[in-house]
Structure formats: structure tokens, C-alpha cells
């Protein structure tokens, strides 16, 4: 778990003494790196008695174009501005350029948060 609380160090480098311990709502999870592969979803608890669906792996995308939206098969990742290594590892994030059966498409959703891949066809 990742702690999103205040730093223990001050700007001057001195230690900041905590008034209390950590709380569960201050913790966050590790980032879900959605890979291209057979579909695998995971449900995690979220705030307010709700849940989130995380896409661990997926091979489908909803690709929007001027003609409408179609379901396409993801073949690979062509470009990813978030991290160059994600192209080699076939990891899909928002803003990534993916190769689909419909052509090249730019991802507009956050697969690790939404559990699905939405994309817009690149001209």
C-alpha cells in the first residue's frame, strides 16, 4: 500500500513528529498496469460502499470514429507517452497509441480505473 499522507521531513530537512498514526483512507494502492492479453478483471473496494473494476489485462477496445463506435481487437501498443518501456511490455494507459483491428487508435479511458479501454481512431 502506498501512503499518501504528509511527508515526515520538513523543507529544512528536520523531522516532523506525527500527531497520530496512519489511517486507512490515507492509503492508496499500487498502479494497475493493464496488459494486452486475455481479459482479466479485478474488483477492489472504493470509498462510499462502492467498488472499482480494474482491468489487469484486456484484448478488446471500443473504438470511436466518425462512422460510430465499434468493438475492436487490440493487437499491441504502438506508442505510449507515459513510459517508453510500456511499449515493449504492451501496457495500455490513457493517451497510449494502440494497434487495433480497425487501425491505430488513441486511448481515452483509464483502463486501470475504469476496467475497459475506450479509444478514438487516429486519422
Span 99-119, pLDDT tens digits? 999 999 999 999 999 999 999
Q: Given this model, what pLDDT does residue 29 score? A: 81
Span 48-73, pLDDT tens digits? 999 999 999 999 999 999 999 999 99
Q: Given this model, what pLDDT does residue 95 score? A: 97
More confident residue, 7 or 16: 16
Lowest mean pLDDT among 44-48, 90-94, 96-100, 102-106: 44-48
What is the CA angle 65-69-75, rounded to 5? Answer: 85
Q: Given this model, what pLDDT does residue 23 score? A: 85
Q: Given this model, what pLDDT does residue 1 score? A: 67
What is the pTM for the complete model shown? 0.82
| CA nearest to 93, candidates 118, 123, 62 | 118
Does the structural domain 32-121 have CATH classification 3.10.290.70? yes
Report the distance separating Cα 21 and Cα 14, nearest Å.
19
Amino acid at each position: 500500500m502506498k501512503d499518501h499522507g504528509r511527508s515526515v521531513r520538513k523543507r529544512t530537512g528536520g523531522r516532523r513528529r506525527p500527531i497520530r498514526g496512519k489511517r486507512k483512507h490515507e492509503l492508496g494502492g499500487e498502479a494497475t498496469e493493464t496488459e494486452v492479453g486475455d481479459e482479466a478483471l479485478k474488483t477492489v473496494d472504493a470509498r462510499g460502499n462502492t467498488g472499482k473494476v480494474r482491468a489487469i489485462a484486456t484484448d478488446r477496445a471500443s473504438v470511436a470514429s466518425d462512422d460510430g463506435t465499434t468493438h475492436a481487437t487490440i493487437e499491441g501498443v504502438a506508442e505510449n507517452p507515459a513510459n517508453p518501456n510500456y511499449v515493449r511490455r504492451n501496457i495500455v494507459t490513457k493517451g497510449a497509441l494502440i494497434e487495433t483491428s480497425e487501425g491505430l487508435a488513441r486511448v481515452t479511458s483509464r483502463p486501470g480505473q475504469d476496467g475497459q479501454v475506450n479509444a478514438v481512431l487516429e486519422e
